[in-house]
Amino acid sequence: MTTTHTRTHTGPKLAFVDTETTGLDTERHEIWEVGLILRDKDHDDTEFRWFLPVNLSTADPFALKIGGYHERHPNGYDAAEDNDERVAFHNQFTDEFARLTRGAHLVGAVVSFDEERLRTMLQGFGHLPMWHYHLADVENLVAGKLGILPPWDSDELSLAVGVNPEKFHRHEALEDARWAMALWDAVMS
Ligand SMILES: [Mg+2]
């Protein structure tokens, strides 16, 4: 799925990103959804979303519930029969993601979580992740701007810069990427 929003930018190439996974363990658990919004100089913001096939036998049922796997993934048990979204092949996804994010700064909420898993997946399919090694955690940016000490609550940080978290369907990958972009814009504008 690809959507373009007309808006031109100056500044660095940014990749707002979020993943939904079958759990928190890097060994056993897998990414089942990826949301990406690419912001590049002189280009419109462009949104991407991929569903990926996963091995459910080792999944954490709580993690599946949080992200709504069975309701939203085309292979989910409760997914509508008329859900015509396709499930991407890993080699196709990793090829597209590596190409799109080359030279970008990854931006997200605790983006190190997503980066570690995406890096491992890309490398496993023979790609060299070429995003910038400076990752941008939007929650850290908000906390730094306002001088808020940890532990942090995502909703409180969001409200502190005027972004209503309830406007986003949190725990859907593309919506979480949109929320991260809203926090970035609130801090940087
Ligand atoms: Mg998420």
Give tens-digit pLDDT for 114-164: 999 999 999 999 999 999 999 999 999 999 999 999 999 999 999 999 999
**CA 6 to ligand 1 center in whole angstroms:** 25
The model's confidence at residue 65, banded by pLDDT at 50, 70 and 90, is very high
Residue spans of alpha helices (H) in 22-86: 61-67, 69-72
Beta-strand ranges (E) seen in 52-109 are 105-108
**CA 69 to ligand 1 center in whole angstroms:** 12
pLDDT score recorded for residue 151: 97
pLDDT at 8 exceeding the cut of 70:
no
Give tens-digit pLDDT for 68-106: 999 999 999 887 676 778 999 999 999 999 999 999 999
**CA 173 to ligand 1 center in whole angstroms:** 5
**Cis amide leading into 150 (omega within 30):** no
Angle at 131 between CA 36 and CA 10, to 5 degrees: 70
Structure tokens at 36: 């990406």
**CA 93 to ligand 1 center in whole angstroms:** 18
The model's confidence at residue 6, banded by pLDDT at 50, 70 and 90, is low
Average pLDDT of the residues of the chain: 94
* pTM (2 d.p.): 0.93
**CA 153 to ligand 1 center in whole angstroms:** 15
The model's confidence at residue 5, banded by pLDDT at 50, 70 and 90, is low
Out of 24-28, 53-57, 62-66, 179-183, least confident range: 24-28
pLDDT score recorded for residue 9: 72
* Average pLDDT over every residue of 39-56: 94
pLDDT at 49 exceeding the cut of 80:
yes
* Average pLDDT over every residue of 165-181: 97
Angle at 23 between CA 19 and CA 29, to 5 degrees: 90
Give tens-digit pLDDT for 98-128: 999 999 999 999 999 999 999 999 999 999 9
